[in-house]
Amino acid sequence: MKTQQLEHPVDEVRRWIEIPVLADDADAMMVEQAVNALPGVANVAADIAKHRLMVQYVAAQLDYQAIIQALDSVGFPPSHGWRSRIRGSVYQFLDANARDNAKTPPPPCCNKPPK
């Protein structure tokens, strides 16, 4: 049986989230399982040495705030430093923008007026 490989959607994004309490492989596995359970997640990888999590997801289906809530629910809140807060605000803005762009209709053809 032939498996079909899905193409990467245009609105698939990769986000790095700092998690200061990420200490060992058991923590990494718990965090990865919690985030993988969310709809729209394509890939999750924890970097224990740098205390961060890479999440690749479709921004039209999921947003940064939902990932943060999932991390908080399993006891691994992200860093609350000013750099992380600014990065989180930018990620949330970009996700909202990608979600809005995914809902827009296609542009009109060059020989047809818009409806």
Determine, yes or no, domain membership for 4.
no
> Any idea what the CATH number is for the domain that residue 74 is in?
3.30.70.100
Single-letter residue type at 115:
K
Q: Residue holding tokens 């193409």?
A: 7
Determine, yes or no, domain membership for 39.
yes
Lowest mean pLDDT among 14-23, 49-58, 65-74, 95-104: 95-104
The two three-digit tokens of residue 92, written as one number: 């949330």
pLDDT band (50, 70, 90) for residue 113: low
- What range defines the domain where residue 22 resides? 12-103
Residue 93 half-sphere exposure toward CB, CA atoms < 13 A: 6
The two three-digit tokens of residue 66, written as one number: 């939902």
Per residue in 68-81, pLDDT (tens digit) is 999 999 999 999 89
Strands (DSSP E) found in the chain: 12-18, 41-47, 52-58
pTM of this structure: 0.78
Q: What is the DSSP string of 74-85?
A: TT-PPP-SHHHH
Determine, yes or no, domain membership for 111.
no
The two three-digit tokens of residue 98, written as one number: 């990608």
Determine, yes or no, domain membership for 41.
yes
Determine, yes or no, domain membership for 94.
yes
Determine, yes or no, domain membership for 84.
yes
Q: How many domains does the chain have?
A: 1
C-alpha 102/C-alpha 48 separation (Å) is 34
Per residue in 55-67, pLDDT (tens digit) is 999 988 888 999 9
Determine, yes or no, domain membership for 34.
yes
Determine, yes or no, domain membership for 2.
no
- 8 Å CB contact between 42 and 58: yes
